[in-house]
Chain A
């Protein structure tokens, strides 16, 4: 479903972020990407989201080159991707409910769907009672659950989680990983980057290890080895 074809990315100052990456991800997989800071994990995800362009090579999603999409199609494409970040990236002026509703509005969903789906996903992340709180009234773990709810509400094909547990304590980390697993069990592909050895070892799924912009290991049922 996702295919990186010999992708390299250099920045303007000649620093190399990615070097000849070739890898594919099948539908329904739960892939973890691990590596030191600066190994190229985030760049890999940015290329997949078409936030940045590769210097060489191409990234395919369901056989289309995502960097050749027109702006209007790019919007559609991003609606198929649910994203979760370390810093949550919620809209500070909107309540938990409105943050999730915004993603649905942007996708052009009607009010009835929004009214029924938003409470449903909030239930899924166990946050229904905080629906009308603003992000600054929520804890880190709660904010991340809102972000996950927002990521899944449009039923995306892929969930991209860039160090979602980076700012969380072990208990919240465990809960977030459990939610991601649940989402994966429901059939959504999940791509997770993390530093957390415990998370990787407990998952027992495919692990891609990166170092200095290259894939150094790709294990079907890997452990965190660095």
Chain B
């Protein structure tokens, strides 16, 4: 058993070396495939990051009636934080809202004058709520309209207004856009990956087609199927390993070069930082894909010539 394993490995190496041109072209095709797969991983990460950034900008504000006690608002806040859909809740008191208003409109004398003429602070305390996903806002809105904690001791609602309805159209649109981009990305990825796998498969089939007469001779000499197949599968694995290493190495300068550009374009993500931070999983995905692709393609291609 060990003897034939050693021979299979040795023969695989020799064949790889002696069929130099075929080996190189197979490795090149495989490298391109792995490169496509790797690029899709990066693109997905970039897209995720920028979509995340967009999502982060969305929130819903619940304004409370002017005489709502802060204690009750804090209760609502706690109740909201207990919901699984909610990512974060931020409280803004009436005074803070007043200060923020003045700050925002300090260039705008008319607004400030109008505020001063009112004599008292007309602004309402509010909770700014971020959901884990834009689709949850509807449920949060319902919660605010109906939950016990939002009722005053007399039973009237403390919530003056939830600006969900104002934002609703924008949130739904954003959700559609995000969903669309994600679906599009998935379809494109699947298509590209399928095409590359088919190309690799065909390349390896061609490489083994050249050896079909050799396979016939080996059978005639009395070599077992496993012994004939072994070196081809090993060669396929070698293609995969070399292609994976080439891909991973070529990503390094590329990510370094594209890093600043991606940071500007996609927001808070740098391709190079992402690559170095996620090197382990990326290495595994690329390497495993290469090895499996090489081994399975070779296995199936040889199988064709082993039938009687």
Contact = CB atoms under 8 A, between A and B. Distances in A.
Main SS class of interface, B: helix
Given A105-B7, A106-B227, A93 B18 contact: yes
A186 interface: no
Interface stretch (A17-25, A74-82, A169-177): A74-82
Contacts of B3: 108, 110
Given A108-B3, A110-B3, A91 B218 contact: yes
B221 A93 contact: no
B225 A150 contact: no
Contact of B222 (A71, A91, A92, A154): A154
Interface string B190-223: 0000000000000000000000011011111111
Given A51-B308, A93-B19, A102 B221 contact: yes
A130 B219 CA distance: 25
A70 to B, nearest CB: 12
Given A51-B308, A108-B4, A110-B3, A89 B222 contact: no
Interface string B114-129: 0000000000000000
Given A89-B217, A110-B3, A102 B223 contact: yes
A102 B223 CA distance: 9
Contacts of B148: none
B53 to A, nearest CB: 56
A71 B216 CA distance: 15
Nearest to A89: B217
Contacts of B223: 75, 102, 105-106
B113 to A, nearest CB: 93
A106 B308 contact: no
Contacts of A78: 219-222
A93 B13 CA distance: 13
Contacts of B221: 78-79, 83, 102-103, 106, 150
B18 A106 contact: no
A107 B290 CA distance: 32
8 contacts: A72-B224, A75-B224, A92-B214, A105-B4, A106-B221, A106-B223, A106-B224, A106-B227
Interface of B: 3-4, 7, 14-15, 18-19, 213-214, 216-225, 227, 308
Interface of A: 49, 51, 71-72, 75-79, 81, 83, 89-93, 102-103, 105-108, 110, 150, 154
